[in-house]
Structure formats: structure tokens, C-alpha cells
Amino acid sequence: MNRDLKIGDRVRFLDATGGGVVRKLLRSSGVVYVEDESGFEMPVLQSEVIKVEEAANDEVVTPPKQSPVSKKPSRKEAQPMIARGDDPSGERLNVSLCYLPEEGGQIGRCRYEVYLVNDSNYDLFVTYSSGRGAEQELRYSGVVPFDSSEELESFDPLELPERSRTTVQLLAFKEGGIVYRPKQAMSFELKIDGARFLKEGAFVESPYFDDGAITFELVKEDQLLVTKKVEAEQLASEMMRAKVQLDSPKRRARKGVASHKGEPLVVDLHINELVDNTLGMEPKDMLEIQLEKVEEVLRSRRKPNHVGEKVIFIHGKGEGVLRKAVWDLIHRKFPRHDLQDASFQEYGFGATQVTIR
């Protein structure tokens, strides 16, 4: 890989004729943008080019080309239908983050556009950042006016890994000397599955756009959404279920600790008990977190003084998907432990008892 490449270097392609000048480098993903003689920027892997000429010290480096902010005719924006403040329903925030394929483009090859839809009487100050983990790059900051949508950015499919973790922060207010009721500042962390952007069926009809879109509802009727509605898959119904309602429970220990010596440790595996926000998470991501919790608890009890102790995992009844995954994990990684359904009289449906051996 040409790790010594820098903006302004002239390169040629290894597997094709031609070449051009480096205009942008994405070191973490190994992607370089090369501008050819016609002025077109092409994203390629750094390993697919070779440097033929160093950048001149006095060369003026042109910034990466930005997609025009002007909206396409088919991108139906939420236009203000009434004067701000006249409709009580507009006082409740409804905010969505929408991903759309570039109009007329082929899924998986075209660029993608990101829109923030503000369906309320409030103006929104928005910051939008993304990256591969906790450290992210700011990609948009500004005000999205009431009853409108704003394009935050557009990006190439090769840049999807740089957006696997996305953060949106919102602050609602009203400009122009209007008296309003302040709302809390909001922050949303989304996990973006790049594979979905390669599937035609992932882009579905949206209330705000004529074209199909991948839509994340961030706020609905002033309520911060902690789950993203997806297809009614078997796993989704299991992992997104609200906390199980136990049938006539006689006793329930505090989550994560034993009530007193001799009492079992009770661990609630419902996803809303394990994470603060599941926005943007797929069912398989939730299942992974739940199984990691099971393994963490059992590994913490490997010392001899824990032999004979009991652990109760609350997983709910549902379709039995989570129960099966828990049992498979324990049989595979903790084969010495005894495994059985927990007492129905004490814990109701949907609980597993593990005895440490």
C-alpha cells in the first residue's frame, strides 16, 4: 500500500490505463480519490495505484468536490403548510434521518445522500458526525428550519465503513424573537450496517420522499425512540419485546445481585435492560450483546467458591429464539454447568436456571 501518498501526488492505475492527481485520502479505509484529466474524481484502493510524480510544494490543492445542496424534484421536502406556532401538533418534535440513493443511480454503485427531516414548528441546531468508533468526524453542523428537510452530506459506497458509527445531536429552539417552550438537548448514536445499502429492498417508501429511503426515526411526537422499526423478523419480535411480565411472580431478586446469601443471581437479558439506546441496531446486534452478558456473568463465577451457586437468566417466552441461543452458548462454553428451566412459580415463563459446577 502506498502509505507515503499525499494530496497532489500524480499516480497511475495498476490494473487500468490512465491515472491522475490525488485529491483526497482516507487512510483508515485505504481509499484514495484520483482526479483524471476530465476533472472526474474516482475512488480507488491505494493498493491499486502507484505514484509517478511527487506533489509540487507550491501546488494548489483543490478541496474534495461537494455534491450540490440543491434538492432534486423527486426529493419531496416537508414544506410549511401553516405559520409557525399556529398548529399545536407542531409543538411536538418529529425528526427522522433518511438515507437515499442518488437519483437515477444503481444501488451499490451510486452515491448516497443523507437528509435530516424536521417535521415540527421548531428550528433545530444539528450536528452530524460519523466514524468507525468513538472517534468521529464532524460532517455537518447547522440549523434545519421548521417544517423542512436538509441534505447533510453525500458519500460514496466505499466510504460506508467510515459511517458505521453515526451520532446526531439536536437542540430545538425558535428564531425571530418567538416565545417557545424549551426542550431537552438530544443525542442519538446509530450503528449503520453497510450491507443494507447494497440491497434494493432496504430502501422503502417514506412519508417525506417520493423515492425509497432507509429511515431512522429519531424523535416521534416528542418521544425519543430507542428502537428502529424493521421488518417483523422472528429475532426482532424476540429482542425488541418489552420487559417480560411474569405470571404471578412470588419473588424477584434485584437485577444483577443476589438478594441474600443462598439466593440466586437474577440477570434480566431484555435488551432495554442492557443498553440505554438500541437505535439503529439490528436484531443480530442485540442478540450478540445479550449473549455477551451471559458469558460475562458465567465467567465471573469460575472460582471454586462459586460452585453450587445458581444464576437465573430472564429471557422471556416469545418464540424461544433467545432461550435457544443462551442454552447453545452454555452447552458449548460451560458444559460442566447444570442447565434447566427456572421455577415457573417463582419466575414465570421465560427464565433459565444455571447451577455453577
CB atoms within 10 A of CB 130: 23
**Structure confidence by residue, pLDDT tens digits, 35-65:** 888 777 777 777 788 888 887 765 544 444 4
CA gap 350, 128 in Å, rounded = 40
Confidence of residue 88 (pLDDT cuts 50, 70, 90): confident
Residue 55 DSSP one-character state? P
Domain final residue, candidates 228, 249, 274: 228
Same domain, 224 and 271: no
Confidence of residue 97 (pLDDT cuts 50, 70, 90): very high
CB atoms within 10 A of CB 290: 24
Domain final residue, candidates 181, 211, 228: 228
- The answer to whether residue 252 scores a pLDDT higher than 60 is no
The share of the chain scoring above pLDDT 70, in percent, equals 75
Same domain, 272 and 217: no
- The answer to whether residue 117 scores a pLDDT higher than 90 is yes
Cβ atoms of 128 and 104 closer than 8 Å: no
Cell representation of residue 262 = 443462598
What per-residue confidence (pLDDT) applies to 250? 36
Q: Which of 52-56, 72-76, 185-189 is modeled with the greatest confidence?
A: 185-189
Q: 88 in helix, strand or coil?
A: helix
Asked if the structure places residue 243 within a domain, the reply is no
Question: What is the pTM for the complete model shown?
Answer: 0.45
- The answer to whether residue 268 scores a pLDDT higher than 60 is yes
Helix (H) or strand (E) holding 274: helix 271-274
Average pLDDT, the chain: 77
Asked if the structure places residue 98 within a domain, the reply is yes
When computed from its CA atoms, the radius of gyration of the chain, rounded to whole angstroms, is 26
Cβ atoms of 203 and 214 closer than 8 Å: yes
Section 83-88 average pLDDT? 64
Asked if the structure places residue 68 within a domain, the reply is no
- The answer to whether residue 180 scores a pLDDT higher than 70 is yes
Same domain, 28 and 149: no
Of the listed ranges 19-33, 101-115, 241-255, 334-348, the one predicted with least confidence: 241-255
- The answer to whether residue 98 scores a pLDDT higher than 70 is yes
What per-residue confidence (pLDDT) applies to 318? 67
Same domain, 94 and 211: yes
Confidence of residue 129 (pLDDT cuts 50, 70, 90): very high
Domain final residue, candidates 228, 251, 282: 228
* Number of domains making up the chain: 3
CA gap 178, 5 in Å, rounded = 52
Q: CATH code at 294?
A: 3.30.1370
**Residue pointed to by grid coordinates 494530496:** 7
Which residue range(s) make up the domain with 158?
90-228
- The answer to whether residue 244 scores a pLDDT higher than 70 is no
For the stretch 172-177, contacts whose Cβ atoms lie closer than 8 Å and that sit 24 or more positions apart, written own/partner, are: 172/93, 172/120, 172/122, 172/123, 172/124, 173/122, 173/123, 173/124, 173/125, 174/84, 174/85, 174/121, 174/122, 174/123, 174/146, 175/123, 175/143
Cell representation of residue 274 = 442492557
Q: 238 in helix, strand or coil?
A: helix
The DSSP line for 158-182 is GGGGGGSEEEEEEEEE--SS-----
What per-residue confidence (pLDDT) applies to 182? 92
Asked if the structure places residue 346 within a domain, the reply is yes
Cβ atoms of 237 and 230 closer than 8 Å: no
What per-residue confidence (pLDDT) applies to 60? 46
Q: Which of 62, 68, 17 is nearest to 39 (CA)?
A: 62
Confidence of residue 72 (pLDDT cuts 50, 70, 90): very low
Asked if the structure places residue 241 within a domain, the reply is no
Beta strand spans in the chain (E): 10-13, 19-26, 31-35, 41-45, 49-53, 95-101, 112-118, 123-131, 137-144, 148-155, 165-173, 186-191, 204-205, 212-220, 223-224, 265-268, 310-314, 338-341, 351-355
Section 314-338 average pLDDT? 86
Q: CATH code at 198?
A: 2.60.40.1600
CA gap 244, 3 in Å, rounded = 53
88 CB-near residues (< 8 Å, 6+ apart): none
**Residue pointed to by grid coordinates 476530465:** 38
Asked if the structure places residue 255 within a domain, the reply is no
Confidence of residue 319 (pLDDT cuts 50, 70, 90): low
What per-residue confidence (pLDDT) applies to 262? 67
Confidence of residue 103 (pLDDT cuts 50, 70, 90): confident
Section 68-86 average pLDDT? 46
Asked if the structure places residue 237 within a domain, the reply is no
Phi, psi dihedrals of residue 256, rounded to the nearest 5°: 85, -5
Same domain, 191 and 280: no
Section 343-357 average pLDDT? 82
What per-residue confidence (pLDDT) applies to 30? 67
Cβ atoms of 162 and 131 closer than 8 Å: yes
Confidence of residue 23 (pLDDT cuts 50, 70, 90): confident
Q: Comparing 143 with 240, which gets the higher pLDDT? A: 143
Asked if the structure places residue 67 within a domain, the reply is no
Phi, psi dihedrals of residue 57, rounded to the nearest 5°: -60, -30
CB atoms within 10 A of CB 102: 16
